Chain A
Amino acid sequence: MQLFNKNNKNALLNKFEKKIIPGIEIIFQRAKGNGVNNLFYDENINCLLPEILLDLSAVKKYSNINLLWFSVFALSIARQRSFVVCNAGSFFSFSQLENTFLKPNQFYGGIVICLLNRSSYNNFSTEIEKKFPIFNYSKLDEFIDLIPSKFQLSEKLKLPVIIYLNNSILSEYKICDSNKFAERTEAKTILKTADNSESGKNQFILPANYEGFKNYNNSIEFMLNENSDNLILCDSKAFPKIIEKFSDDNIIYFKLLNPLDIEKLRNIFDNIPEKFFKQIIIYDSYNLLSKPLYSFFKNNNKIKFNKLTLINNSAEENNGCFYLENFTPADVHANPSFCIGCNLFAFLQKINKIDNKDTILVGDTNCFSLISSSPLKFSFPDLFLIKEPVYFISNLDTKNLNKKIYLIISYSNFLNNIDLIIDKINNLAPKETMYFVVYDSIFDYSNKSIKINYDLPQLKNIRTEILKNNLTLHDFKTQYKANLIFIEDNCIKKSSGIKNYDFYRYLKINNDICLKFECKLCFQTSGCPAIKIEETNNFVIDPVICTHCKLCIAICPHNAIKMHKRKKVKIEESIENKINLKKFKKNKIT
């Protein structure tokens, strides 16, 4: 790779000629295959690779990095994953990252930043490594299978994950001889024409003799039924499964199927005599080779076949596994996890003290992670987990009408249906009042990503009265038999401005106990912003943010977290003061 290795002469050659970095193309394609819609790259890379990124749609270049972070942040709020490739480290600075991502905001993660330049990495290594997860990779094969897991990690930690690619990665794909380079580009042009002829609207139409399978296992069973002359091309991921069931006569194994391997393929097929295969099966788990292989087999005169089958591990059934542009996996994003909130915890404890026998707790999936992980779950006999707890009402048993019901709701669509809900409650006429426990952030006007109807007159009244009274836990009795309880879900608001400091008490995590079990319940399920991981993997509570709610103490199953107190020292009176006091006393006595 021309950018990264000064000692390499070929690299220097490429630098002056300004030619291709094929490694990046593969990385982009792989990221796109994993449901990432937003791909960003540095403008410097664009100068070096004018031609390579033309094929990929939805790849945006950036020049202003402030705008980039802003847009990436906005995308993460809208639960979209984005992948950023940076070359120059000069304008990729720690302060910008800190400003955007380390501030207590509603950042949902889902960002992977890929760094290519060694010098850029050295500039901020000391600062960034402590706060952001960073991974070094020296081989592309190791890295590329892990892309989805990195996105999941960043969504778990709610931090951007930074990947530094070692120089040798891109030099793997360096093309040393100019001849080979020309071959490759020719192959590419052929590919393009093939596409244009067969698909008018940039859509790849499946050939007639084509079949796709969603899973390996189904496909293998299918293959075993048709015992005939097959040619199997195989990915490293699928190889161990396939080698168990097939004889290895006609299996061609690739360590990683990537576009550059077509040259190797040609070499292989040059040595094979002319042959007729009934079926050619390609196990390509990431859909990288679907297009080029098809064109390759079509143009090749030596090899003839009845059927071409491409098998992919992660595509939809209807679209076939052939082409990756229409690919939208279902579980790209988990449910958005709200900050579960120490205030909700306090509220639940309050309910538990008052009455816990005749109550029913119903939470949606976001709230339930708190309830299920805390010891409170033993004190409530009736606990329900429903995706949309509002519809719990429509299926209410007549037995439960005598009990108090708390519906804990964290999603904003609740507000749209509030009229319907209240009507239903009136029809049912329960004996006890029903409580809707709602997060205060539902009323957040600044959050434009979620559209809510604020025009309902009832809601406006509620909002204004709550604001007037300045209440944190507020019961608002409507004229109906339902009460709304609002909970401030943002504890960070307190810590940033209005918080009264109390540093004489502090919470401490005993890491000797904690690291034995590594349950990470306090860090992950509570979602408390005060709990952080140090560089030595120790868990630490940030004293500045901590509000002493003791949620973490309740959650921790191993009693690793405890409250401590600091000593206070009284003022020692000086000798002068004592003399003055004695005088004063004497005067008083006399």
Chain B
Amino acid sequence: MENINFNFVINGADIEEIKFLSQILYLSLLNENYNTSIAIKSLSNISNYNFSSSLIKIGSTRSAVCAKNINALVSLDYQSIVNYLEFFDSSTIVLVNYSKFNICNYFLSDNDNVDKNIKQKTANLLKIPVEKIANIDLMGKNKVSPNISLLGALSAKSGIIDLNNITSVLASMAKNDAEKKNYINALIAGYDFANS
């Protein structure tokens, strides 16, 4: 385990969502005996929307904040990825929630340019229609944030987190059986989408 250095970045407008996702990631990484560290911070204020990100670093615990290379980026918006373009490598995995209209679309409406810019840097771009996959309508009363399927895709692409490991973490976090079922279904849907 000492030879692994891995930087995740979770990016988006919703702080609580990011906290939640990073919590799950952190717990499941701890389960696999990685040295992990987390830094969560808000980047800028655009009309009352806090853009925030969390950086999760595996390997050395010296500096969590200054990561030069991002190995995997999980983003709740599509167009705010542009902020991270400098840190991309040829092998960085980019997983994006591509299902709903974001605040970013309002300001930067040119999607094609963003596509070009990202594809110059990496080939591993996955736009995931999260809400379609996770089937929010089927969830019933115990609805669960569909962004969990992003984590499923992450485990499929990066391979650093075991699928069964995340599910056990999610199952322990769920309040009841119905919620647990929804969590796991969303996660598996993301995994299958990334693999297909």
A183 at the interface (CB under 8 A from B): no
B75 to chain A, nearest CB (A): 20
Instruction: Give the contact stretch, choosing among A513-521, A547-555, A562-570.
Output: A562-570
The docked-state distance in angstroms from the alpha carbon of A583 to that of B159 is 25
Contact sample, A vs B, 16 pairs, CB 8 Å cutoff: A94-B140, A98-B178, A102-B178, A130-B137, A130-B138, A130-B140, A496-B177, A503-B167, A503-B191, A544-B181, A544-B184, A567-B156, A569-B157, A571-B158, A576-B5, A580-B3
Check if B177 sits within 8 Å of A103, measured CB to CB.
Answer: yes
B182 to chain A, nearest CB (A): 9
Check if A98 sits within 8 Å of B140, measured CB to CB.
Answer: yes
With a CB–CB cut-off of 8 A, which chain A residues contact B140? 94, 98, 127, 130-131
A468 to chain B, nearest CB (A): 29
The docked-state distance in angstroms from the alpha carbon of A190 to that of B174 is 62
Per-residue 0/1 for B144-173: is the Cβ within 8 Å of any A Cβ (1 yes, 0 no)?
A: 000000000000111110011001100100
Check if A572 sits within 8 Å of B91, measured CB to CB.
Answer: yes
A446 at the interface (CB under 8 A from B): no
Check if A544 sits within 8 Å of B180, measured CB to CB.
Answer: yes
Query: Known contacts being A503-B164, A567-B195, A574-B5, is A126 close to B137, with CB within 8 Å?
Result: yes
With a CB–CB cut-off of 8 A, which chain B residues contact A103? 177
Chain A residues with a Cβ closer than 8 Å to the other chain, count: 31
Query: Known contacts being A103-B177, A496-B177, A574-B4, is A501 close to B159, with CB within 8 Å?
Result: no
The docked-state distance in angstroms from the alpha carbon of A504 to that of B141 is 28
With a CB–CB cut-off of 8 A, which chain B residues contact A126? 137
A423 at the interface (CB under 8 A from B): no
A507 to chain B, nearest CB (A): 13
With a CB–CB cut-off of 8 A, which chain B residues contact A119? none
Check if A542 sits within 8 Å of B156, measured CB to CB.
Answer: no
B28 at the interface (CB under 8 A from A): no
With a CB–CB cut-off of 8 A, which chain A residues contact B188? 503, 543
Check if B164 sits within 8 Å of A573, measured CB to CB.
Answer: no
Check if B163 sits within 8 Å of A571, measured CB to CB.
Answer: no
- List residues of B whose CB falls within 8 A of some A CB: 3-6, 69, 71, 91, 137-138, 140-141, 156-160, 163-164, 167-168, 171, 177-178, 180-181, 184-185, 188, 191-192, 195
A577 at the interface (CB under 8 A from B): yes
Q: Among A95, A500, A569, A574, which residue has its beta carbon within 8 angstroms of that of B141?
A: A95
Using A501-B171, A543-B184 as known contacts, list a sample of 15 further A-B pairs with CB atoms less than 8 Å apart, ordered by residue number in A.
A98-B141, A130-B140, A503-B191, A504-B163, A504-B164, A566-B192, A566-B195, A569-B159, A570-B159, A571-B160, A574-B6, A574-B69, A576-B5, A577-B5, A580-B3
Closest to A568 in B: B159
Q: Among B69, B141, B156, B191, which residue has its beta carbon within 8 angstroms of that of A94?
A: B141
The docked-state distance in angstroms from the alpha carbon of A574 to that of B91 is 9
Check if A502 sits within 8 Å of B177, measured CB to CB.
Answer: no
A552 to chain B, nearest CB (A): 19
A-B contact count (CB 8 A): 70
Q: Among B3, B164, B181, which residue has its beta carbon within 8 angstroms of that of A581?
A: B3
Check if A569 sits within 8 Å of B164, measured CB to CB.
Answer: no
Query: Known contacts being A127-B140, A501-B164, A568-B159, is A577 close to B4, with CB within 8 Å?
Result: yes
With a CB–CB cut-off of 8 A, which chain A residues contact B3? 573, 577, 580-581
Query: Known contacts being A130-B138, A543-B188, A544-B184, is A502 close to B158, with CB within 8 Å?
Result: no
Per-residue 0/1 for A30-58: is the Cβ within 8 Å of any B Cβ (1 yes, 0 no)?
A: 00000000000000000000000000000
With a CB–CB cut-off of 8 A, which chain A residues contact B69? 574
Query: Known contacts being A127-B140, A543-B188, is A572 close to B195, with CB within 8 Å?
Result: no
With a CB–CB cut-off of 8 A, which chain B residues contact A502? 164
The docked-state distance in angstroms from the alpha carbon of A160 to that of B178 is 18
With a CB–CB cut-off of 8 A, which chain A residues contact B185? 543-544
Q: Among B4, B141, B168, which residue has its beta carbon within 8 angstroms of that of A573?
A: B4
The docked-state distance in angstroms from the alpha carbon of A574 to that of B60 is 14
The docked-state distance in angstroms from the alpha carbon of A569 to that of B91 is 14
The docked-state distance in angstroms from the alpha carbon of A27 to that of B141 is 32
Most buried by A among B163, B180, B185: B163
Check if A501 sits within 8 Å of B168, measured CB to CB.
Answer: yes
B36 to chain A, nearest CB (A): 15
With a CB–CB cut-off of 8 A, which chain B residues contact A94? 140-141
Closest to B163 in A: A503
B150 to chain A, nearest CB (A): 16
Query: Known contacts being A95-B141, A544-B185, A572-B91, is A566 close to B163, with CB within 8 Å?
Result: yes
The docked-state distance in angstroms from the alpha carbon of A574 to that of B159 is 13
The docked-state distance in angstroms from the alpha carbon of A126 to that of B138 is 9
Closest to B160 in A: A571
Closest to A576 in B: B5
The docked-state distance in angstroms from the alpha carbon of A500 to that of B167 is 10
With a CB–CB cut-off of 8 A, which chain B residues contact A566? 163, 191-192, 195
The docked-state distance in angstroms from the alpha carbon of A574 to that of B163 is 21
Check if A127 sits within 8 Å of B164, measured CB to CB.
Answer: no
With a CB–CB cut-off of 8 A, which chain B residues contact A570? 159
With a CB–CB cut-off of 8 A, which chain A residues contact B141? 94-95, 98, 127
A97 to chain B, nearest CB (A): 10
The docked-state distance in angstroms from the alpha carbon of A179 to that of B148 is 66
A107 to chain B, nearest CB (A): 15
Per-residue 0/1 for A492-517: is the Cβ within 8 Å of any B Cβ (1 yes, 0 no)?
A: 00001000111110000000000000
Most buried by B among A95, A501, A502, A571: A501
B44 to chain A, nearest CB (A): 29
B155 to chain A, nearest CB (A): 8
Most buried by B among A126, A544, A570: A544
B136 to chain A, nearest CB (A): 11
A265-309 contacts to B, CB under 8 A, are none
The docked-state distance in angstroms from the alpha carbon of A94 to that of B84 is 44
The docked-state distance in angstroms from the alpha carbon of A131 to that of B141 is 12
Check if A571 sits within 8 Å of B4, measured CB to CB.
Answer: yes
The docked-state distance in angstroms from the alpha carbon of A95 to that of B178 is 10
A100-149 contacts to B, CB under 8 A, are 102-103, 126-127, 130-131
The docked-state distance in angstroms from the alpha carbon of A92 to that of B18 is 36
Check if A572 sits within 8 Å of B163, measured CB to CB.
Answer: no
A188 to chain B, nearest CB (A): 44
B133 to chain A, nearest CB (A): 15
Closest to B140 in A: A127
The docked-state distance in angstroms from the alpha carbon of A542 to that of B6 is 34
A381 to chain B, nearest CB (A): 42
B5 to chain A, nearest CB (A): 5
